[in-house]
Structures are given as C-alpha cells and as structure tokens.
C-alpha cells in the first residue's frame, strides 16, 4: 500500500512537550483514500532534522507529505502556503545552533518554494467543522519554515508530484496552564512575559488533523488517477 508521510517536530525551545509530536501516535497506520499514514518525529535541529526529512522522502516515496510544528502563541490552525530560503532563528535549535541575518537554507536553491496542497480547500473544511483556521503566507524563518522548504524540494527531487504542506499548531491548554502556574508570584519584570496565551485542545487538534489528512489524501489519490 502507498504511504503518506506525516512528520512532527520534537519538543524545542526548552519545552518538555510539543503537540506536533503528541499527535503522531494517534495516526499510526490509519488509512485515508487508500493511503496509509506513516508518522515520524523529526529533530528540532539543523544538523540532522532536514537531512532526515530528505531521507524519509527518498526512501518511502510518499503520495503526500504533511509536516506539523508548534507556532508559539498562535490561536488557530495555520495552513502554510510557502517556505522561503532563509534562516534567521529567534531562539536556538535543540543543539544550540542559532543562525542569524537571513542566510540560506540551500545555497543553490530557489528563493522560495510553494506548498503544493490545496490550502483553501483545507481551510474551508476546517472552518466548516467549527475549527478556527487560516491560510498563512509566512511560515517564519525557523525550523518550521525550513521543514516546508526542504520537503517541497525533496518531493521535487524525487520526481513526486503529491501534495506537500505544513500545518502550524497552537499550544495545548495544559501547556498554557503550566506557563501560568510557573509565573513568578511577584509578576514579571518589564518587558512583561504574556502567559495567558491562546490554546486548542488535543481533541480538536486531532479532529483538525484528521480533516487535513482526508483532504490531502483524496487529492493525492485523485492525482494518481
């Protein structure tokens, strides 16, 4: 059976958890439109994360690729449309690497690569299911953007035309509750660190990802016909 690759970033930025990796086990071997989901967690570091992504695509030749990442403080499911060839990290990766000043992900690559999934169809389906979602035309300049840029390029390099995209996730409520419990009792000093952040339950994130998988798999299956 053909496979669809679902990747999720491991915890990063000093956090003990990440909804992107927490969702993966719930979709192991699930089948959408005749395509089996293959979940894989990816390292949140430049030295191995992007190479692993390219290796997974070359090895499994997936019908589609969906990657997941946490957008700190994002209030909705964010359907990314483009990855740019730029590295500029506000925080270091998990190995302490922090590229600055907008250097390239790929010295010989194009300035940008567009996600190849139908983002409008996905957003509309999420909204119809009463899940807040929006299209995003900037995936940032950290590992999430690098993941989208690299995965689209790896699909092209492998001669694969299936849909490829990146879904940014909000915090889980328990993550936000932990931030609020750990706030200094006397309050933060200026500049104030906001801790009452937006979040979305694991149940709704699972429901949303299931909808995304349905839409992407149907598109991938149709494109093979």
- Catalytic site residues? 80, 144, 168
Residue (of 59, 57, 45, 3) closest to 28 by Cα position: 3
Tokens of 61: 């030749």
Give phi and psi for 47, each to the nearest 5.
-65, -30
Distance of CA 219 to the CA centre of its chain: 19
Angle in degrees, CA 86, 165, 45, rounded to 5: 50
What CA–CA distance (Å, rounded) separates 143 from 49? Answer: 9
Tokens of 121: 């169809």
Question: What are the two backbone dihedrals, phi and then psi, of residue 91, each rounded to the nearest 5 degrees?
Answer: -130, 150
Spatial distance between the Cα atoms of 79 and 163, rounded to a whole number of angstroms: 13
């Amino acid at each position: 059976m053909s496979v669809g690759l679902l990747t999720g970033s491991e915890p990063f930025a000093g956090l003990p958890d990440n909804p992107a990796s927490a969702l993966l086990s719930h979709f192991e071997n699930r089948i959408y439109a005749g395509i089996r989901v293959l979940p894989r967690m990816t390292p949140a570091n430049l030295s191995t994360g992007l190479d692993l992504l390219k290796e997974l695509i070359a090895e499994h030749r997936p019908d589609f690729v969906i990657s997941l990442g946490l957008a700190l403080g994002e209030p909705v499911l964010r359907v990314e449309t483009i990855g740019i060839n730029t590295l500029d990290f506000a925080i270091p990766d998990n190995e302490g690497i922090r590229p600055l000043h907008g250097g390239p992900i790929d010295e010989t690559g194009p300035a940008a690569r567009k996600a190849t999934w139908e983002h409008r169809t996905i957003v509309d389906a999420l909204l119809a299911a009463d899940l807040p979602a929006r299209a995003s035309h900037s995936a940032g300049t950290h590992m999430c953007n690098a993941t989208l840029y690299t995965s689209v390029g790896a699909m092209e390099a492998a001669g694969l035309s299936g849909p490829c995209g990146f879904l940014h996730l909000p915090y889980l409520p328990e993550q936000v509750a932990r931030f609020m419990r750990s706030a200094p009792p006397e309050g933060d000093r200026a500049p104030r660190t906001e801790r009452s952040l937006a979040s979305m339950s694991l149940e709704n994130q699972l429901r949303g990802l299931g909808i995304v998988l349905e839409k992407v798999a149907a598109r991938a299956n149709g494109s093979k016909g």
